[in-house]
Structure 1
Amino acid sequence: MDVTDKLAAELETAQWRKSSFSGANGGDCIEVAQLSGDRFGIRDTEQPDGVQPWIVRGSVLRAFVAGAKAGEFDF
């Protein structure tokens, strides 16, 4: 089994989580799943079986979450 097959199998059994706030804003949210090797999968809640999820390192996700909490992405 190559790396791509292993990742696909891991995504199949991943435990996806979404914010409890997601129902309050019309479903415009993402879901996140912790993967092996300090990686995370990110996908659209409205299309969970659509496009391949983004795979990011844990440090990238943590930096994004910290920035969001600090208001760096507010319009």
Structure 2
Amino acid sequence: MHDLSGASWRKSTRSGSNGGNCVEVADNLPGIVAVRDSKDSEGAALVFEPEDFAAFIAALKNDRI
């Protein structure tokens, strides 16, 4: 289990301003990137190694996912 108490969460730049389906990312923690649903800020977060998260984002940008 990772300690996310120091996480600085930010919404995806693709999120709209209508409070809909948003993703928040915290990439300020050493050695991990955390992702959560903005509508459930107390719920679970997915945790990735930075290299894996970067590969995931690259695949999204290249329409491979």
RMSD: 1.9
Q: 2:63 aligns with which of 44, 53, 71?
A: 71
1:19 aligns with 2:12: yes
Q: 1-side partners of 2:56 and 2:26: how far apart? A: 15
Tell me the amino acid that sits aligned with residue 56 of structure 2: F
Give 1:44 shift: 0.8
Q: How does 1:22-61 map to 2 (within 5 A)?
A: 22-23=15-16, 27-34=20-27, 35-37=29-31, 39-50=32-43, 52-61=44-53
Q: 2-side partners of 1:69 and 1:16: how far apart? A: 21
Query: What TM-score do you get using the length of structure 1 for normalisation?
Result: 0.70
Q: Identical aligned pairs, as a percentage?
A: 38
Higher helix share: 1
SS state of the match for residue 14, structure 2?
Answer: helix
Query: What TM-score do you get using the length of structure 2 for normalisation?
Result: 0.79
Q: 1-side partners of 2:60 and 2:18: how far apart? A: 16
Tell me the amino acid that sits aligned with residue 16 of structure 1: W
Moved over 6 A (4+): none
**Runs (5+) with no aligned partner, structure 1:** none
